[in-house]
Amino acid sequence: MKLSLEDGEKAVKFARRAIEEYLEKNKVIKDRLEGVFAQKRGVFTTLIKNSDLRGCIGFPYPIKRLDEAIIESAIAAAVDDPRFEPVRRSEMDEITVEVTILTEPEKINAKPKDLPKFVEIGKHGLMVRKGYFSGLLLPQVAVEFGFDAEEFLSQTCMKAGLSPDCWLTGAEVYRFEGQIFKEVEPRGTVVEVDIRSCQQS
């Protein structure tokens, strides 16, 4: 079930509040939300500062209530993303918050060489698994960087710490869809993002 814009707005504001409470008071908010937020859903929180990624962490699978998953992913994106220094409270005035609600990843059962046919840019995100390695890229990443399906598969392999051609050599490939809500500017209006409309023709 998709979220309404009203629910998306709640999700983004909830993520921001979780981060700011944690950075200001070192406290994890205890509030819970009703409706769709009581359902178990996968979710990622992405933080953007001056058009650059500042943190992105989440849960691919629906293992937690959505409200709890938002709190945990938001705080983790701010302070636990190993690619970045922890966010400082003062930075939150310059950071836009983006929340992506995921459908459950489904394994693509196809011959390796046919995998690109099952990946629709602007619709699907990807997750790759092989042994102890796994990596995930959200649907918006392929659009933002102009990847075609093969490049998207290769980049997801590299995100997992594997060789770019791992999708051709036995890695499991999963696809999922994402519903994206984000602030237009820090603390600003929340909109639903249609990544298909962002694709370059």
pLDDT of residue 200: 43
181 in any annotated domain: no
pLDDT tens digits, one per residue of 122-175: 999 999 999 999 999 999 999 999 999 999 999 999 999 999 999 999 999 999
Distance, in Å, from the CA atom of 154 to the CA atom of 162, rounded to the nearest integer, reads: 9
Q: Which neighbouring-strand residues pair with 45?
A: 57, 99
β-pairing verdict for 95-102 and 172-183: antiparallel
pLDDT tens digits, one per residue of 3-33: 999 999 999 999 999 999 999 999 999 999 9
Q: What is the mean pLDDT of residues 41-49?
A: 98
Please report, for the domain that includes residue 26, its CATH number. 3.30.700.20
| 152 and 70 belong to one structural domain | no
For 15, the token pair is: 């993520």
CB half-sphere exposure, 6, CA atoms < 13 A: 4
- Domains of the chain: total: 2
Q: Is the pLDDT of residue 201 over 70?
A: no
At 196, the pLDDT band (50, 70, 90 cuts) reads confident
Domain that includes residue 115, residue range: 106-176
* H or E segment and range at residue 172: strand 172-183
Distance, in Å, from the CA atom of 67 to the CA atom of 163, rounded to the nearest integer, reads: 35
pLDDT tens digits, one per residue of 82-131: 999 999 999 999 999 999 999 999 999 999 999 999 999 999 999 999 99
| 79 and 34 belong to one structural domain | yes
Q: Is the pLDDT of residue 199 over 60?
A: no
Q: Is the pLDDT of residue 197 over 70?
A: no
CB atoms within 10 A of CB 44: 25
| 135 and 82 belong to one structural domain | no
| 31 and 94 belong to one structural domain | yes
pLDDT of residue 1: 75
Distance, in Å, from the CA atom of 29 to the CA atom of 133, rounded to the nearest integer, reads: 32
* H or E segment and range at residue 19: helix 5-25
Distance, in Å, from the CA atom of 192 to the CA atom of 4, rounded to the nearest integer, reads: 9
